Amino acid sequence: MAEDGEVRRVGIMGGTFDPVHHGHLVAASEVADRFALDEVVFVPTGQPWQKAGRPVSAAEDRYLMTVIATASNPRFTVSRVDIDRPGPTYAIDTLRDLRAAYGGRTALYFITGADALGRILSWKDSAQVFALAHFVGVTRPGFALSAAHLPADTVSLVQVPAMAISSSDCRARVAAGQPVWYLVPDGVVQYIAKRSLYAGV
Ligand code: ATP
Ligand code: MG
């Protein structure tokens, strides 16, 4: 934990979170433990540029599910920076906004699953994102975890308990009338039902 005058250590867990699931939560928890983070801020995307081909649930629903899922963990918070910024979400903007919000005496750790890490070089201003945060790539079933394509010393790789869960699969399950209990937090199961999300996916 950061004492007075020490650098605060903050993890950033970006995602569409449509819906947030236990794979996201375990990844954040493991990285928080490994890097002695004071906080992990979950940042639901605004309009995700990589998912333009499919409808994404309303930002407010994804934001509220993320709040519900993280509410019981005192070190987990949720930021609205991406959903309140008009236009598509780019990690470079997320990092600049959070850097401005947290100030200079904060070390930022950007957490990504193996699939997202593999695509980083396709991100807008990818060279600059590495200057704004240390990157932490976490294992994800079905994807190879490698930082060979990324600049040296900018990325750490972390093995997390394998959770073969994806939001895509959760949406398909709901659409097919199958359960998502224990794949997502209980409150998120209930929120999906209350708002009739994914019924027609
Ligand atoms: P979708 O199927 O809609 O793409 P998703 O399950 O991949 O959803 P995202 O919101 O796209 O979830 O992912 C946000 C971040 O969490 C990404 O960095 C992704 O790699 C990571 N992530 C998602 N699921 C897992 C998992 N089961 N284990 C580890 N990391 C994960
Ligand atoms: Mg994904």
Q: Read off the pLDDT of residues 88-117 as tens digits, 9 standing for 90 and up.
A: 899 999 999 999 999 989 999 999 999 999
Among protein residues, the one with the nearest Cα to ligand 1's atom 2 is 168
Determine the atom of ligand 1 nearest the C-alpha atom of 165: 27
Q: Tell me if 171 CB under 6 Å of ligand 1.
A: no
For residue 1, pLDDT beyond 90: no
Give the residues across from 181 on adjacent strands: 184
pLDDT in tens, 24-71: 999 999 999 999 999 999 999 996 655 656 789 999 999 999 999 999
Tens digits of per-residue pLDDT, 145-200? 999 888 888 999 999 999 999 999 999 999 999 999 999 999 999 999 999 999 97
The pLDDT of residue 50 is 58
Does 86 score more than 70 pLDDT? yes
Distance 116 CA to ligand 2 centre (A): 7
CA distance readout (Å), 123 to 5, 93, 94, 119, 159: 34, 11, 12, 7, 24
Ligand 1 touching residue 27 (CB < 6 A):
yes
Q: How many CB atoms lie within 10 A of CB 141?
A: 12
Regarding the beta carbon of 184 and ligand 1, being less than 6 Å apart is answered no
